A and B are shown apart, each in its own frame.
Chain A
């Protein structure tokens, strides 16, 4: 995934104020897309506008008035002379519409939606993702009604006060939304944005992005096989699974190396069982996938290097009470404990690693879009798409020392920083958010 196309989105979640569950669903989406301290894209809400008497349709999504992002529009309303640096980087607006009967039947809302859909974002790409929350949702005004909706499974969305959100419905929504956003953000073979200002990227032919499943067959195949079946049966992705994907008579090394370096390989799930650490092929797969890759974006300033690390999720399938070796290549990858008795765990695992892949791509684009706004420094500056750990940083650093490392988020904790400083004395660590929050 070594492209240089930048796409820094801001997300809008839209719901009708009479849809009582809307706020809670929006909050879950927010927490899903912004999982940590300063990680992930900006998320804004559109539900009410109490600055007008009608209190029906919300304020417009920025674009109509020539501003370039929500934050920029906020600043322009106030007549401000400056705005946050991050606001200047946005080039895509993704609008998630929680559609149900209240929205469908409200004429003022229908007009508002049509206006948002017909507005050219003034240089911003605008993508609509409607979500069907009851059977009337498909009666939204055109052009929204013409697109394929996210259709979460579960009962129809609750209405009225005090009803709880069905976790089944929300989990299903997050799964489908994550896949859709992956397609928007990870598809590097799609149409050139500059040629298709109006056409949605979601209209483009579907690429088949992959998830690599790394597992030790000696410990059995259950988690890996269930995950493979889930990916093929329940998602728009494919899984690389050696039993299926290494043809009889083919060289393992050639096939696996090709798969790991394929630009469509979005993420890896490593099933860490008892013998995983001692299996050479498993270690090699993880090591190869966790190898940071140097990108070559157009317009990069001298002295800045852009490094990308793929998303890895470790499924802990160790035998209780049995000792096993550590796997240093995992670094600070997310872990989930496998438990066959938990229903829907495959969905949670796959959706989580896809979300992490999405965030990895977002932080990649944010890094190289933002770097021109950051102060230059003498020596090498490494711009990472991950929160650094000693192992992965060592691989990116190589033998020539860097003077500065920029990473996602809003800053490292004291202990994280101290550990990194012990390994890499003299290097300055700064987060994108900290750098962009510095007063100009």
Chain B
């Protein structure tokens, strides 16, 4: 993707629901679950959404591995499409598809044959270095990645961050862009698990994704009972103690992910586009977002701030306050699916969030 004048998408055909889900083995196992539970949960989340005609965004890679869910989602969509093709199509909603937003250099691993194989189920959105705003003189040619590992690392982090923004805001290239070519704006985000150390980019992916969702007034469903980055955020949202911000300090992040320091040095040495948030800024923005959700004033403002009334209303879940709180901590997968499905239907099937 390398558009001349990207704009924020203002029209979409149907809702796009992003799912951030990762297999944090130790966290899950400590709660009595394994990867098969996660796969079953994913099925139960995704199937009703695509049957409603919603599209799904999942940013996994294209390697067949036990803990990569790209093919799980593709096979589910494929089966639903085939199923629909042999049944009466009158009055039926077209089954949703997968949007796979993938940043440089990870998209280089996707070959044309693979893309063609799944083209009926998936739209791959490639976010290039150019698109991310990296200046021409700093762009690393695809074939030179191994020759310049430092710049490759920095540019990969920049494009990853840009990709997360694209997922949230969507884009259309110009006024005349056909709707089917536009990248839709996100209608809701579901997060579960997420690495808090050893992650790629400037900050843990779920931190940045939740931050962008709050900032862009996108409903966000945080399943905090299953460990990882989602639990950090869920805990912070309802923490009584005043030290909740400590979990998101740069020093704490650095303790477990040493490459952050190196990335900071590279950012100082090279250029980073102004709209890309580096580690400290991204963490500050997340804390700001959590403070906004926790803020009593925002809660009392309710709709005037684009939030739902009550505590946690700025997560815009479409659930009762007690249900949203329950979603943040329940370790019952059935209950979590039940709540997310209820909330999304409440938010999105009455048309209020389908722009």
Contact = CB atoms under 8 A, between A and B. Distances in A.
Interface of A: 12, 23, 26-27, 30-31, 34, 37-38, 44-51, 58-59, 70-72, 74-75, 77-84, 86-87, 410-411, 413-415, 417-418, 436-439
28 contacts: A23-B29, A27-B36, A45-B29, A45-B32, A45-B34, A47-B29, A48-B30, A50-B26, A50-B27, A51-B30, A74-B225, A74-B332, A74-B335, A75-B330, A75-B331, A77-B331, A80-B332, A81-B322, A81-B326, A84-B332, A87-B332, A87-B334, A410-B44, A414-B83, A415-B86, A417-B87, A418-B87, A418-B88
A75 B87 contact: no
Contact of A437 (B27, B29, B322, B334): B334
Going nearest first, the 8 A-B pairs with the smallest beta carbon separation are: A78-B329, A74-B331, A84-B334, A44-B32, A414-B83, A74-B332, A71-B332, A439-B342
Contacts of A437: 44, 334, 337-338, 341
Contact of B338 (A31, A46, A84, A417): A84
A27 B37 CA distance: 10
Interface in B330-355: 330-332, 334-335, 337-339, 341-342
Pick from B31, B32, B37 the residue with the most CB of A within 10 Å: B32
B83 A415 contact: yes
Contacts of A439: 338-339, 341-342
A30 B34 CA distance: 9
Interface string B17-39: 00000000011011111111100
Interface string B73-98: 00000011001101110000000000
Q: Output the residue of B44, B322, B339, B342 with the most chain A CB within 10 A.
A: B44
A438 B341 CA distance: 9
B40 interface: yes
B43 interface: yes
B330 A414 contact: no
Interface size on B, as a range, is 35 or more
Nearest to A42: B334
Interface of B: 26-27, 29-37, 40, 43-44, 47, 79-80, 83-84, 86-88, 225, 322, 326, 329-332, 334-335, 337-339, 341-342
B286 to A, nearest CB: 23
A439 B345 CA distance: 11
Contacts of B225: 74, 78
Contacts of A12: 32
Name, among B30, B43, B322, B338, the residue most crowded by chain A CB atoms within 10 Å (CB to CB). B30
A413 B334 contact: no
Contacts of A417: 87
**Most chain B CB inside 10 Å of its own CB: which residue of A45, A77, A79:** A45
A78 B326 contact: yes
Contacts of A27: 34-36
